Chains A and B, each alone.
Chain A
Amino acid sequence: MQHDALQKLEEQLGVRPPEGLAALNESEVRALAEVIREALDQQSAALTTAIEGALARLPRPLRGPIRGILR
């Protein structure tokens, strides 16, 4: 049901989506929610990789204190 799909999108966004999205069908709303979820997952993975990469580039004496802050 489109209503359920919009509900899911609202949960994803944390706020009610714009009213105009009612013009989309159920599969489109689901696709949109999925795209947002994937963007969140990719961001999380990219951030983890970037933090490890950053630590590897820092002078050794700084790595411990920085890891401590990031924990």
Chain B
Amino acid sequence: MNNDPQVRAEVLKLARLLGRNADELAYLHRLRADDIRRLREQATDVLFEAERRRMQRLALASRLLTPALVAMVAQRAFGPLLAARVAGYLDTSRAAEVARRLPVSFRADMAVEMDPRRVIGLVSQLPAEGIVGVARELRRRDEFVTMGRFAGHLADDALRAVLADLDDEALLRVAFVIEDRDRLDHIFGLVPVARLASLMRTAMDARLWSEALDLLGCLGEPLRAELLNAAADQGDDLLSSMVGAVCDHNLWGVLLPAARAMREESRARLAERLAAMLPQLTATQREGLALEVQSAGFAAGWAIPGAGHGGLDP
């Protein structure tokens, strides 16, 4: 099986769409995440279009019913999967009226089945507190994949409300599987700077360095610098833990370019942690690190002992 978490997340999403266990689609782990995602989008379109006529007529028929009656029918006759599919055909404001009458648990069930692309209008009409309620239920179920599918489609006021409500661990896990990775810089720009420190602390305590470092790689330089400065400000234990994770997962290409934008004193502390870690590296790892340091632009200062250079000095 492919250990790429993005691939695993995409196989899980496709399996859900097709009503199968992820194990039944194990052969898809050989593919790239982008290909599996594209396949899922194509399969979603086929499933939606296949019943277009009946779903359009259902949407039309629902106009004869009160929103409360539609909500009852959705829960008792349709279930979350079909309700999610029909929702894409309902008039947006009517769908919002019905959604308000559905219990949070059912809305969360529907969210798991929904294609966010088809309900953008509906989501934008829901009050932020309603979205927070569903997000909270999804968090309770560890439905990070579903949250990651919707995160890119939320307006800023709803995003801020969800971000404020969500715990750090969930935030890191959702960011890791978010559908729209281009939005991460914008989303984390809405996180108060003061919270970045606790995010990095959570990365250490909850052993989520893969997630935190993956996030670092997706952010613009200003936010990357803020995150790394926040890590450096919290003491050597956290910095050492981060550097250890970078070494274990060979993520120097993520850390070192980002380190260029750190405050000088923070970068100095990072260099100290690197120097302290060097004796644990093999000669091959030291050579590899030296190359990464050079390509990150620290050639003048960050020399690595044992690799033909002097001591480590920022």
Q: Which of A21-71 contact B (CB under 8 A)?
A: 21, 23-24, 28, 31-32, 35-36, 38-40, 42-44, 46-47, 50-51, 53-54, 56-58, 62, 65-66, 69-70
B167 CB within 8 Å of chain A: no
Contacting residues, chain B, for A19 (C-beta < 8 A): 35
Tell me which residues from 56 to 115 in chain B have a Cβ below 8 Å from any Cβ of chain A: 57-58, 60-61, 64-65, 69, 72-73, 76-79, 81-82, 85
Q: Is B161 an interface residue (CB 8 A)?
A: no
Interface residues of A (CB under 8 A from B): 12-15, 17-21, 23-24, 28, 31-32, 35-36, 38-40, 42-44, 46-47, 50-51, 53-54, 56-58, 62, 65-66, 69-70
Instruction: Contact check, B27 vs A24: say whether CB atoms are below 8 A apart.
Output: yes
Q: Is the CB of B76 within 8 A of A51?
A: no
CB pairs A–B below 8 angstroms (16 shown): A14-B46, A35-B18, A35-B24, A36-B46, A39-B18, A39-B43, A39-B47, A47-B55, A50-B77, A53-B76, A54-B78, A57-B76, A62-B64, A65-B64, A66-B64, A70-B58
Q: Which residues of B contact A (CB under 8 A)?
A: 17-20, 24-25, 27-28, 30-32, 34-36, 38-39, 42-43, 45-47, 49-51, 54-55, 57-58, 60-61, 64-65, 69, 72-73, 76-79, 81-82, 85
CA distance A32 to B19 in the complex (A): 13
Q: Which residues of A contact B38 (CB under 8 A)?
A: 18
Q: Is the interface of B mostly helix, strand, loop or mixed?
A: helix
CA distance A14 to B46 in the complex (A): 7
- B251 → chain A, closest Cβ, in Å? 25
Chain A residues within an 8 Å CB radius of B46? 12-14, 36, 40
**A contacts with B: majority SS:** helix
Distance, CA A47 to CA B69, complexed state (A): 18
Provide the residues of chain B in CB contact with A57, threshold 8 Å. 72-73, 76-77
User: Across the interface, which residues of B come within 8 angstroms of A62, CB to CB?
Assistant: 64-65
Cβ A47 vs Cβ B73 within 8 A = no
Q: Let me know if A35 and B73 touch, CB within 8 A.
A: no
Known: A14-B46, A47-B54. A39 touches B77 (CB 8 A): no
With contacts A46-B82, A53-B77, A57-B76 taken as known, whether A28 is within 8 angstroms of B51 at the C-beta atoms is: no
B73 / chain A contacts, CB cutoff of 8 Å: 54, 57-58
Say yes or no: A42 contacts B19, CB within 8 Å: yes
